[in-house]
Amino acid sequence: QKEVEQNSGPLSVPEGAIASLNCTYSDRGSQSFFWYRQYSGKSPELIMSIYSNGDKEDGRFTAQLNKASQYVSLLIRDSQPSDSATYLCAVRGGSARQLTFGSGTQLTVLP
């Protein structure tokens, strides 16, 4: 079983729609959760972090965490073509507290 799982996609949504990205994790002791955006040929860029159950909003982005279900999601409202990228879910846990990444979901926002 992979430690952090994401649907690889690709996921396509029309401009202005809501994009929903999902992630599950296996380590129940995980304490913090991150979403990174990675444009093609670029390095990952942190866009959201969440530590407590519930929702956290930042502009057009909303991260949702359900520790009982071991589930993290990212919603992107009013999707723009510039949001087209690979979105990486990362989970922090373990004794050394390093991040474990999923394989990413490729998102394409169609004009």
Partner 1 sequence: EAGVAQSPRYKIIEKRQSVAFWCNPISGHATLYWYQQILGQGPKLLIQFQNNGVVDDSQLPKDRFSAERLKGVDSTLKIQPAKLEDSAVYLCASSLSGTGGGFWGYTFGSGTRLTVV
Q: Name the site residues for partner 1 (rule: CB under 8 A).
A: 4, 31-32, 34, 36, 42-46, 49, 51, 88, 90, 92, 95-104
**Among residues 105, 88, 100, which one has the least CA distance to residue 30?**
100
CB of 20: closest distance to partner 1 in angstroms?
A: 19
Close Cβ partners of 7 (under 8 Å, ≥ 6 residues apart): 21, 22, 105
Shortest distance in whole angstroms from residue 86 CB to partner 1: 9
Contact 21, 6 (CB under 8 A): yes
CB of 57 to partner 1, least distance (A): 17
